Amino acid sequence: MPVHFSSLPEPLAEPARPLKSRWLGLSAVLLLVLFGLGRWFPLRQAVGEAWFLLLTVVFPLLIGLVFYGIRLWIYENRREYVLQWNETRQDTEAKLIAQGQRTLGVLSLSYHTAVANNKLADALLQGAVGLQPVYFPTDERVAHFSQLAPPPVKQTQEEYVSRLSLHLQQVLSALDHEYLIQPCALRVRHDQTLSDDALLERLCAWLAEQQLPFGEVSLDNQADGLLWLDDWLDNDAANPLVLSIEIQLNQLPVADIAESVSAVLLAKSSWCRRHAVTPLALVHRPVALSSVAAQVDELLVCSAATGPEPLFLWQTRCEQPPYVEAISALDARGFDVAARQHRLDSSLGLLANGTGNLTLACAVEHLRSSSLAQLILLTDLSLQGCLVRAIPELPQDKQ
């Protein structure tokens, strides 16, 4: 579940301690009033000297002390309540921060795109473009397509299966198998050209050919970018190893959509420490930026970003107002990303069902070549952000 620090109530302010001088002043005022009344009226002769002193001196002092004692008792009770409240809130905040700062590692990744089948980030930053223009004389228009080779010709389902088999088997064979010391969970997001059952039947056969052990299988066609990692990080009973496969392959050419087949092997940081595995990169918890300015703070807390640091930004499908708001919020907190960024939509194309894996792949590859922490801002179903860092030492995830 998402970790919302904004749901925490504000800490309570400690009450002001009652001033002795104020209450002693009240007693003095009462004393003066009663003593003055006693002088104007024949009270001393009526009640005698002892009672006169008792009524005009002792009782005012006692009344002041009693009221001061009651006010002090109220203060002490309120102060104790406030201290307990703030201590409980602080403990809850610490637990939320520890939960929010859980991380995962990228163990291996492989992909096919129209631009490159490896070192995609370098190719894009050097000016490679996957979107190629095609002129349609009948409509007198130009459309841009980002297609895997070989492109569809017959545009039949049989041809789609043949292309999928070619690319997916090559992608799976390129994965580093040494980390699969236990069956991993399998997560699949695809373009639904094939039915779920038909795709899983073929996929399981291809995984068996590559001798990739896997256990539970989940179809995640309603995924929202990288936010599926949020639930996985919080599920202690879930398999700590996940192979995420994302497929965007078109039976019919679709303008502006980037065809891709990708696989990313991920592991929770606790599993990496336990097995002495050093991942390629560290991925912090993704955060949905539904309220951009406020949740940028949550993104920075979940990413353990304690001070200004240089970031490189990968963005896709970021609409102008929320994107500008997010960049402004980061800039106000000392994170300048405006000068170091790349927009995937204009080079590779719209990532569609490959959004999560390909943005991670670009961030991990550029991180390893530049040593800059990588920020991902993307919109799938919702705007979200995620930070990817190098691993000098795996952080200890607190339970």
Residues 62, 142, single domain; the answer is no
Residues 252, 328, single domain; the answer is yes
The answer to whether residue 12 is domain-embedded is yes
**pLDDT above 80: residue 398:** no
Picking from 390, 381, 387, 281, the residue whose alpha carbon sits closest to that of residue 330 is 387
Tokens 């050209």 belong to residue: 193
| Number of residues that make up the chain | 399
Q: Of 20-29, 67-76, 116-125, where does the model show the most confidence? A: 116-125
CB 185 within 8 A of CB 241: yes
Q: What 3-state class would DSSP assign to 381?
A: coil
Q: Of 93-107, 109-123, 165-179, 282-296, where does the model show the most confidence? A: 109-123
Q: What does the pLDDT average to over 362-381?
A: 94
- What pLDDT does 4 receive? 63
Picking from 318, 315, 310, 367, the residue whose alpha carbon sits closest to that of residue 334 is 310
The answer to whether residue 283 is domain-embedded is yes
The answer to whether residue 45 is domain-embedded is yes
Tokens 């990496």 belong to residue: 272
Q: What is the CA 237 to chain-centroid distance, rounded? A: 21
- Residue 53's pLDDT band, with cuts at 50, 70 and 90, is low
* Whole-angstrom distance, CA of residue 175 vs CA of residue 44: 104
DSSP per position, 257-298: BBPEEEEEEEEEHHHHHHTT---SEEEEPPEE-SSHHHHHHH
- What pLDDT does 193 receive? 94
Amino acid identity, residue 215?
Answer: G
**pLDDT above 90: residue 48:** no
What are the pLDDT digits (tens) for 252-306?
999 999 999 999 999 999 999 999 999 999 999 999 988 777 788 889 988 888 7
Cα torsion 141, 146, 151, 154: sign: negative
Number of C-beta neighbours around residue 5 at 10 A? 15
Residue 257 bridge partners (DSSP) = 350
Residue that finishes a domain, picked among 100, 135, 167: 100
Residues 225, 347, single domain; the answer is yes
- Residue 52's pLDDT band, with cuts at 50, 70 and 90, is low
Which carries the bigger pLDDT value, residue 117 or residue 22?
117
Residues 149, 34, single domain; the answer is no
The answer to whether residue 398 is domain-embedded is no
DSSP per position, 70-108: HHHHHHHHHHHHHHHHHHHHHHHHHHHHHHHT-EEEEEE
Residue that finishes a domain, picked among 39, 71, 100: 100
Residue that finishes a domain, picked among 74, 100, 126: 100
The answer to whether residue 225 is domain-embedded is yes
The number of domains in the chain is: 2
Residues 90, 223, single domain; the answer is no
The answer to whether residue 52 is domain-embedded is yes
Residues 167, 268, single domain; the answer is yes
The answer to whether residue 33 is domain-embedded is yes
Picking from 224, 264, 312, 306, the residue whose alpha carbon sits closest to that of residue 108 is 264
- What pLDDT does 223 receive? 86
* Whole-angstrom distance, CA of residue 45 vs CA of residue 346: 103
The answer to whether residue 399 is domain-embedded is no
Residues 83, 209, single domain; the answer is no
Residues 89, 149, single domain; the answer is no
**pLDDT above 70: residue 393:** no
Domain that holds residue 238: 103-389
Q: What is the CATH number of the domain that holds 379?
A: 3.40.47.10
* Whole-angstrom distance, CA of residue 328 vs CA of residue 104: 28
Residues 298, 258, single domain; the answer is yes
- Cα dihedral 386, 391, 396, 398 in deg (nearest 10): 0
What are the pLDDT digits (tens) for 198-251?
999 999 998 888 888 898 999 998 889 999 999 999 998 899 999 999 999 999
- Residue 67's pLDDT band, with cuts at 50, 70 and 90, is confident
Residues 107, 9, single domain; the answer is no
Residues 88, 123, single domain; the answer is no
**pLDDT above 90: residue 28:** no
Alpha helices (runs of H) in 101-133, residue ranges in sequence order: 120-125
Which carries the bigger pLDDT value, residue 91 or residue 138?
91
**With pLDDT > 70 as the criterion, what percentage of the chain qualifies?**
84
- What pLDDT does 30 receive? 66
* Whole-angstrom distance, CA of residue 10 vs CA of residue 86: 9
Residues 256, 323, single domain; the answer is yes
Distance in Å from the first CA to the final CA of the chain = 15
